Structure 1
């Protein structure tokens, strides 16, 4: 992943909590791995490009996070744009992408999400996780 020293911090806390508005994502880091956390929106990317809120690097996995109200399709676009701008290799590097929302906002429901997840996996080697806030993810699933 491209580097942005002014926007980065290393975290080895037991829990890494990302919050914005009313959305909250907690990463359970019980192994206390050293995780690179990047503030993307307004720091690493501060121009007119679509961008997600945060990116993390954990082992050799890139993690992209968008904390949303209800516009899930827009959140996916923001993550996709961020991958193109920040990832060293958008098609090859293993990724986890999170959209955490406060209320559901996709016109055709969960079926559409399954289609988006499948396309995301093929195009970006990314697992797309779309969950209602608050959501907790165990980082031991991606750490070595």
Structure 2
């Protein structure tokens, strides 16, 4: 197998999630930006879409998590990523597949563990206060004589 993923293969998101190539929709259009004579004729920009709401490749629990996390990015349940940074259409197709896999990986990742609040130890509180006292003492020694606090 080649080191670069083929654009006609299934999209491997994680060990648990593989999106069949048949569920991916690619659209091509002209890219903006530099490219010389070819920029006006080559359809190198790629839009890769996946119907997250209707896909069979995501287990129900992961689909619900993805729909919740990707809510603002979805249009009628469809996630679309765009790649137009390369001059070659094939490179943009590969970039779009990588980007879609990354977005899906992040959207289906398990939630982070909740932080358990802890209290500082007595020793750490004392060290902090000692440090503050030393700093205050140092700053007091830098003052001009006679310009102290007279209240």
Shorter-chain TM-score tier: under 0.3
Which structure has the larger Rg? Answer: 2
TM-score if structure 1 supplies the norm length? 0.27
Query: Larger % of strand: which?
Result: 1
Higher relative CO (Cα under 8 Å, sequence separation at least 6) belongs to: 1
